[in-house]
Amino acid sequence: IITYGSYISKKDDLVSAGILVGIADTAVALLAGFAIFPALFTVPGLTPSAGPGLIFVVLPNVFNTIPYGMVFGAAFFGLLVIAALTSTVSLLEVVAAYLIDERGWSRIKATVGTGLVCTIFAIPSALSVGASPGLTRLYQSGGNNQGFLDLMDLIFGNIMLMSGGLFIALFVGWRLGLDQAREELEEGRGKFSLFTVWAYLVKYICPAALLALLINFLWKTIRNLGWI
């Protein structure tokens, strides 16, 4: 988001864009949950804590039980591939932008090189959804077998995500400065009437809430792993 934000025109309304992105992202997540979790309880032996691999276990069972399931299944996973690839563009751009701006690499060299490295590191995740027993049952958490993909989701989809949000809030509220933040927010929209509320949230409430969530998540994770 930060890298994409650096490409935004000075005429764009950051506040409206941020609100729309938040609403759209939350809506998609809720719709995905409504599709997967009700069907989850129809498959014996699966629990909601089984991890991100659920989508590859639950939905194939659903498609096998409905008319033209193979057609819908192929269309769904085809669209899922497109969604995954378009999402990885934002992740790839972070490293590519650094190599281009700071190291002087060409766009093609930075993109291809970073993409190859990411592909190599993605192979264990792809194999951990049943293809490799060792990677599929890498460790146990809460009595369930967890694979390499679950470990990556644990680290980057939870711990790093909350940590990143925490440090961004701290940076904006305490290092960048609220005056400069206000200038950026009002660049393309004029006066931001709720800035005082926004500033209070970013400086105090958001860091405290994210820190509490992170500590709580780490505590539960440690307990599920049986370390205490």
pLDDT tens-digit series, residues 91-125:
888 899 899 999 999 999 999 999 899 889 889 98
In this prediction, residue 31 carries a pLDDT of 85
Predicted TM-score (pTM) of this structure: 0.75
CA–CA dist 12, 195 (Å, integer): 17
Between 218 and 36, where is the model more confident? 218
Q: Print the SS3 string covering the chain.
A: CHHHHCCCCCCCCHHHHHHHHHHHHHHHHHHHHHHHHHHHCCCCCCCHHHCCCHHHHHHHHHHHCCCCHHHHHHHHHHHHHHHHHHHHHHHHHHHHHHHHHHHCCCHHHHHHHHHHHHHHHHHHHHHCCCCCHHHHCCEEECCEEECHHHHHHHHHHHHHHHHHHHHHHHHHHHHHCHHHHHHHHCCCCCCCCCHHHHHHHHHHHHHHHHHHHHHHHHHHHHHHCCCC
The one-letter code for the residue type at 114 is T
pLDDT, residue 214, reads 96
105 or 80: whose pLDDT is higher? 105
Residues 6+ apart with CB under 8 A from 70: 63
Please, which pLDDT band fits residue 165 given cuts at 50, 70 and 90? very high
pLDDT tens readout for residues 13-27: 888 888 888 899 899
* pLDDT value, residue 15: 85
Average pLDDT, the chain: 86
pLDDT per position as a tens digit, 179-203: 998 988 888 778 888 899 999 999 9
Residues ≥6 apart with Cβ < 8 Å to 168: 2
Has residue 206 got a pLDDT over 90? yes
